[in-house]
Amino acid sequence: MPPPREADGAAAPAMRRIFDWPYRAILAGVVALRLSPMQLTFLGLATNVVIGWLLVERHAFLAGLLLIPAGLFDVLDGAVARLRGTESRFGAFTDAVLDRVSDMILFGCTFWMLSGQGQELEAALALATLVISLTVSHIRAEAEAVGVSLSEGLFQRLERYLAMMIGLMVPAMLLPMLILLTALGGFTMLQRGWSALARVPAEV
């Protein structure tokens, strides 16, 4: 089985080293089960829907726990497609769109939970993180539409998942993690925006 795909985020190199063999074992199991990339993509979406419901019902710890399989589905769908040679534009498009839907569910329901508890600062930070994550993805999409590939960024989807796992599962850590998400997510948005402006031709 191939190792985890290289990524540019802050946590990616460490996670790649730590989870190399567990990742390969899980990938082998998924391949043995004959799950398709699209099935994995929709399993990830379904898991995020359950996470959203748990957040609305204020079961933060369980929601954070379910982010683990949700993150695995997010990684494995592309890995299975590459391993089987079935990568396609349709699959990449569907995966990207449903990733954004999952982000909206996660941070939108976190906002709902926090605002319902009267935690106005935390709720505002959750909403800011949602806007930032969508903007980071939109910058990449717009750049790729004019032929510029963008993958760099200090704080990407893996890092957002890890921060939310810690924030939801560890007592008193949600506010620090939301501050981190907003600050480093904002930096990533500016980083990717600057890179796009520097590399997109003046006339296309």
Residues with a known catalytic role = 99
CA 68 to chain centre: 11
DSSP string of 138-179, one letter each residue = HHHHHHHHTT------SS-HHHHHHHHHHHHHSTT-HHHHHH
DSSP string of 125-142, one letter each residue = HHHHHHHHHHHHHHHHHH
> Could you give the CA distance from residue 125 to residue 128 in angstroms, rounded to a whole number?
5
DSSP-derived 3-state class of residue 16: helix
How far are the Cα atoms of 117, 130, 180 from residue 124, in angstroms, in the given order? 13, 10, 13
CB under 8 Å to 44, separation ≥6 — which residues?
70, 73, 74, 77, 98, 102
Amino acid at 193: G
